[in-house]
Amino acid sequence: MDKPKRTLNKQEGELFQRAVAFTISVADKYKDDRAYEAALVGLYVGLKAYTDNEHTFNLETYLHWFVKTSIEYELGYKNKDTKIWGEKKESAGEK
C-alpha cells in the first residue's frame, strides 16, 4: 500500500521558510563555512525536539539554542552549552 503524500499548507510552508532563513542568518554571523552544515544539524534536532514536545512558544526563540550551539560545538567553542550538546550527541550515538 502506498504511503500518503505529506503536503504542507501555506502556514506550514511559511513557517518552514522562516526557520530556514533564521538558520542561515545565525550561521552567517560566524563567518566560517562549517557553520552552515552545523546550523542545519541544529535546525533538524531543534525542529524534532520542538514537535516531539509540542511547544507553544516562538519557534525561532526555541531553535536559536539548537542552531547556535550546534555551530559553536562544530567550530570548537568550549562553554556550558557546547558541553551539553556534546553529551547529547554521544547519547544519540554520534561522535
pLDDT at 89 over 90: no
The gap between the terminal CA atoms of the chain, to the nearest Å, is 37
Asked if residue 66 is part of any domain, the answer here is yes
In a domain, 83, yes or no: yes
Query: Range of 59's domain?
Result: 26-91
What is the chain's alpha carbon radius of gyration, rounded to the nearest angstrom? Answer: 15
* Banded model confidence at residue 33, pLDDT cuts 50, 70, 90: very high
Residue among 75, 78, 59, 72 at smallest CA distance from 14: 59
pLDDT in tens, 70-86: 999 999 999 999 999 99
Confirm whether pTM is higher than 0.75: yes
Q: Which is higher by pLDDT, 50 or 66?
A: 66
For residues 12-27, average pLDDT: 91
Assigned domain for 19 exists: no
Residue 34 is placed in which grid cell?
Answer: 562549517
pLDDT above 70 coverage of the chain, percent: 95
Does residue 50 contact residue 34 with C-beta atoms inside 8 Å? no
What total of structural domains would you count in the chain?
1
Specify if 53 maps to a domain: yes
